[in-house]
Amino acid sequence: MTVATAPTRSVSEQVRDLLARMTLEEKIGQLQMVQGGGGHVPDHLRDAVQDGRIGSVLNETNVEAVNSLQWIATKQSRLGIPLLVGRDVIHGFKTVFPIPLGQAATWNPALVERGARIAALEAARTGVNWTFAPMLDIGRDPRWGRVAEGFGEDPFLTGVMGAASVRGYQGDDLSAPGSIAACAKHFAGYGASESGRDYNTTNIPENELRNVHLPPFHAAVEAGAASVMTSFSDIDGIPATANRFLLRTVLREEWAFDGVVVSDWESIRQLATHGLTAGDRDSALEAAQAGVDIEMASTAYADHLADLVCEGLVPLATLDALVENILTMKFRLGLFEQPFTEPSAFPQQCNSAHLAAARDAATESLVLLKNVPGMLPLSFAHTPHVAVIGPLADEAHEQLGTWIFDGDTQHCVHVLDAIRALAAASPAADVRVTHARGLATTRSTDHALIAEAARVASEADVVVLVAGEEAILSGEAHCRADITLPGAQEALITALAETGKPIVLVLMAGRALALERVLPKVHALLYAWHPGTMGGPAIADVLFGVREPSGRLPVSLPRVPGQVPIYYAHKNTGKPATPETIVHMNDIPARAAQLSVGNTSFHLDVHPSPLFAFGSGLSYSQVGYSDLRADATELSRDAALEIRVDVTNTGPRDAHEVVQLYLRDPVASVTRPVRELKAFQKILLHPGERRTVAFTLHASDLAFYGRAMRRQAEPGRFHVWVGGSADADLRLDFTLVD
């Protein structure tokens, strides 16, 4: 006998059925996100959830409190609609991975995806089902504190890493245990804030918006991102939270995004502060009409949307569409079937596998930028006395970086302890590790500790100096005008250099720092970003050759702050600088004639190139490129072009190489960048190994938004470079034909 079963209703059918039973107040309640109770459920929050006036909470990570809130929402409210529970899970939860900028330096999307998956599992154990990550803002101004949260200056790399992050948070099935909703932020253009000052105005022409700032968000949407967060900033006079072009034309219509749009913290209320509206009522109207589904923290919707609907200023259909998006995400998360969290169903936080993954990510994030021959890797057999110096050498908390509200420092291993552990395991005789801070903090201008640090250094065989920025110096609202080393760190480096002992500088920072004055005084430079929980062991492993350095820069490093913004994908201008035209101001004779003929675009007081180019990084071996070739000289729109290059490890050690392909369209209907990253592969080469690396290009890879704001590839000649950085000089040309 066959038993008949009721057909499973689609999510859209369930949403429509639920929506039809909701009152106006309950609909508006779904649009409201409020702070959690900090580990308990206060009466006002209990009442609001029970009455259907709250649809989501944030910053509640006590699982008992979360389960209590979900019980009230699903068992005691009229319609039993579960809550979204949001948290900034940016680069780990209890187990902290490198800051996103450091993760981008791995050039390994699989590691980024794995880190996001672990973060999701650890956060989901507490009842969190929604993270406000990844941040996909293009960061070309390192003065901006939030560059630490993004994946660097390049749209392609940011898109690849952002999509990997989305996949990690959400998994293959958003309703599966341990999957949490990702949120691509900040939509859009936030990274272009004037002067690198947070929350500031952004003036971005539509062509640049579409070609530079929007592609990473499109990649995240195509990867299935469940939600998008609006930017704090305005875009050419219209704040993002009220920007119908962004939220309706681009996001909903062009990209067919069907997820949730959430405001940033109080950004609906701040529309009045911007000067767009006269107060909360007008702000609610503008945001609703633009298509913001959820208001974070402030209450403009809760206070005014009912009147706006009743007066016909916000059509009921507009409100229903906002609510539908929210309910759809809740169904997709499986919250109606399982709103409660059982911690024992999830892995323990900071377990050995999670810590091992964090160590791998930290190791691959480290970028070796300078290495005087014979300096690194270190060996206790040759340099048995190591002086570990610097204000960040033994600071476990500081290496975690920004946005680590839930990070567990008891599992964090700092650099000094990690080097001591290697020393203890070394078979070499008379091994010693000594320590001096040199400065109380990275910001300190007090020189009192420098003399002792110099004395400790003078007695050692080698100095490992761990310097840079404390975590608090980057992140939201932590912008810097002077991005050289803060405090008296340059004085400390000078004093150590005067001892004559070789210096290995390990820099922890949340941004690209300007290091031209420092670089000549050190023998090696290892850029460590803020590497997370297992940053210390990762750094020690690379310094002593247990692991090979394999990170590459996701940003250009300026020589001096005045070069900012400096990035590799700049336009050529009508008068590009050339080696023949560059003149330093000190080389200009006194009373020289004021002429413009032959002048080009550069600063008189600094070389126009960055100190280190985008994509740069060294290994402990030597890698060469040769025989760049294509399988054809022409590419048609319905075909593919294969680019091949031979990559050889000519050195004595294993080498991880990031093979990078750059492209230029030299003649187009609008001016195009001098180079654009279009593909990359990270490979391992054993000593003496030669490998042929292949890339496949299609016409779509050549496309851009032109004068009519339509994305298309224009026929003509293209340049291709393949190499180890944006400075690659191995080039071939091909032609796109119709």
Tokens of 492: 């400390």
Cβ(180)–Cβ(124) below 8 Å: yes
Q: Do 107 and 658 form a contact (C-beta atoms < 8 A)? A: yes
Q: Please indicate whether residue 47 is annotated as part of the active site.
A: no
Distances in Å between the alpha carbon of 429 and those of 338, 497, 613? 60, 27, 41
End-to-end CA distance of the chain: 63
DSSP codes of every residue in 194-230: GGG-TT--B---HHHIIIIISHHHHHHHHTT-SEEEE
Please give the order of strands across the beta sheet that includes 716-723: 634-636, 731-737, 716-723, 655-664, 676-685
The token duo for 555 is 């940003």
Local structure of residue 401 (DSSP, 8 states): -
Nearest to 143 by CA among 389, 510, 450, 607: 510
Output the six-digit token pair for 66. 């979360």
Catalytic residue, from 88, 137, 198, 264: name it: 264
444, 457 contact by CB (below 8 A):
no
Nearest of 584, 629, 616, 627 to residue 602 by alpha carbon: 584
What is the SS3 assignment for 505?
A: strand
| Residue 367 main-chain phi, psi, to 5 deg | -115, 115
Q: Find the helix or strand (DSSP H, E) in which 493 lies.
A: helix 489-497
Q: HSE, CB side, 13 Å, CA atoms: give it for residue 726.
A: 28
Task: List, in sequence order, every residue forming a beta bridge with 720; answer none if it has no partner.
Answer: 663, 732
Residues 144 and 191 sit within 8 Å (Cβ to Cβ): yes
Query: What is d(CA 691, CA 62) in angstroms, rounded to the nearest whole number?
Result: 51
Write the single-letter amino acid at 120. Answer: A
Q: What is the bridge-based pairing of β-strands 524-527 and 367-371?
A: antiparallel
β-pairing verdict for 716-723 and 183-187? unpaired
State the Rg of the chain over Cα: 27
- Give the active site residues: 264
